[in-house]
Amino acid sequence: MRTRWRSLAASTALLALIAAACGTPGGGTTTTTAAPTQTTAAPGGETTTTQAPTTGELEPLRIGVLQPLTGAIAASGNDAKDGWELYWQNHPTEIAGRKIEWRVEDTGGDPDTALQKVDELVQNFGAEIIVGELLANVTLALADRLADNPDVLFVVPIGSADDMTQRRRDEFPNMIRAGGWTSSQTSHVLGDWAYEQGYRKVATMCTDYAFGHEMCGGFVHVFTYRGGEVDPSQQLWNPLGTQDMSTYVTQLADMDVDAVFALQVGGSVGDFLTNWHDFGLKDRIPLLGGEVLLDNSNIRNLPPEVVEGLISSGHWTEGRDEPTVTEFVELVDAATGKIPSYYVAATWTAAQYIQAALEALDGDTSDKQKMIEAMQGFELETPFGISRMDSYGNPIYDIAIRRVEVRDDGRVWNVPVEIYENVDQFWPFTPEEYLQQPVYSREFQGNLSVGEPAAGG
């Protein structure tokens, strides 16, 4: 008898789970209000469009947002989702007669899943614009998949693989980095600043994958170009996802250097910074952080004494005293209870660009190249400050050298120490010079000479 009851309970639970699972396909998603144009492609080739847009009312603009909402980097992915949703909660969702509809999908940080999801968003949801992703490798995979589809605009506010807007730009004609950046863009500036501080010999401690190579390469390139010295044997590389950073920190402690440049991601950040503090290096060796190392998403979870006073460079500086920045920070803080990370600012800015393009083109999104052209023409006031686009589709920002400070309410944030104005992805070089060198990698950290610095900067 007992077993029968047990099996009954089990089957009921299973049935409930399966029913919950089965109830969803096509079933009301919260954001979809009108039925998408139903295109039934019958095998054999005939394509029948069964629903034309109703006269007098324009088709809604459907946008697919892809972020890692589960998995190792879910916290950042959810920040990105917040930025996107907060923007539309605070702005009209009907622009030039077109309703904005979106669907946020979880990639789990996995390129294969992201590719399956993007197919779903384009084919099933009818997305005209895809906004994504957070990881450089996933973003690249998506860009490749979408490159063949001229009816889709790919907006990249976070994923920062250098080559997407550099040597491989022509491969992705429908991609634009609205609200985005290239990895080495912010660390170029830090290389210059470090030299100005009188540092002549620097060691590096970066994560051993493309993003780490590019962030670190940007720093080393400009620092050595200015005359500084980085000994390749003092460039430490730790595997992605290293749990215990203490062995690396002790190695750094024994090096005779003026400063250390560090870039870590995910769980390694907290461990690195805590060890750096606990081993007493924080007061002994100046630490220069790549942008993400001291992003608010990382420092907000650490004791203030571990991070206070640390220096980094970034296009996002939450403590910048400018109306667009302070308003944004207050708004996000009120809504989420957190000081925004750059992920929040990035998707917010992407939404801002989309709105501006839609207004400029009076709601006509049929030609995606026109949208890209329009976006390249704007000068927008964003949470990043004034944002303009270079001809490669990458933004030009004022990039700040930032210091972590404790606010009156006890929370930490980055405030600007010095601002480099109008920094593009090639700064301080010209595009022609810069593009002659290969993309930064573990082997190439920018020790080729590439000519004179461009004017300005």
Residues that bind other proteins (CB under 8 A): 6-7, 9-11, 13-14, 17, 20-21, 24-25, 27, 29, 40-43, 69-70, 103, 105-106, 110-113, 115-117, 119-120, 123-124, 136-137, 140-141, 144-145, 161, 209-210, 441
Report, in Å, the least distance between residue 288 CB and other proteins: 25
> Distance (Å, rounded) from C-alpha 267 to C-alpha 138?
19
| Nearer residue to other proteins within complex by CB, 72 or 360 | 72
Q: What DSSP string describes 85-135?
A: HHHHHSS-SEETTEEEEEEEEE-TT-HHHHHHHHHHIIIII--SEEEE-SS
Tell whether the torsion through CA atoms of 348, 353, 358 and 360 is positive or negative.
Answer: positive
| Nearer residue to other proteins within complex by CB, 46 or 283 | 46
Report, in Å, the least distance between residue 202 CB and other proteins: 25
| Nearer residue to other proteins within complex by CB, 6 or 91 | 6
Amino acid at 160: S
The alpha carbon torsion through 276, 282, 286, 292 (nearest 10 deg) reads 50
Name the percent of the chain in helix, strand, coil, to the closest 5.
40, 20, 40
| Nearer residue to other proteins within complex by CB, 18 or 448 | 18
Report, in Å, the least distance between residue 184 CB and other proteins: 16
The alpha carbon torsion through 322, 328, 334, 338 (nearest 10 deg) reads -90
Report, in Å, the least distance between residue 394 CB and other proteins: 18
| Nearer residue to other proteins within complex by CB, 134 or 389 | 134
| Nearer residue to other proteins within complex by CB, 45 or 323 | 45
> Distance (Å, rounded) from C-alpha 184 to C-alpha 160?
9
CA separation, residue 213 to residues 205, 221, 253, 290, 447 (Å) = 10, 11, 22, 11, 13
Q: Which residues pair with 101 in a beta bridge?
A: 62
Report, in Å, the least distance between residue 275 CB and other proteins: 25
Report, in Å, the least distance between residue 457 CB and other proteins: 30
Q: Which of 209, 310, 301 is nearest to 264 (CA)?
A: 209
| Nearer residue to other proteins within complex by CB, 163 or 271 | 163
How many Cβ atoms sit within 10 Å of the Cβ of residue 122? 19
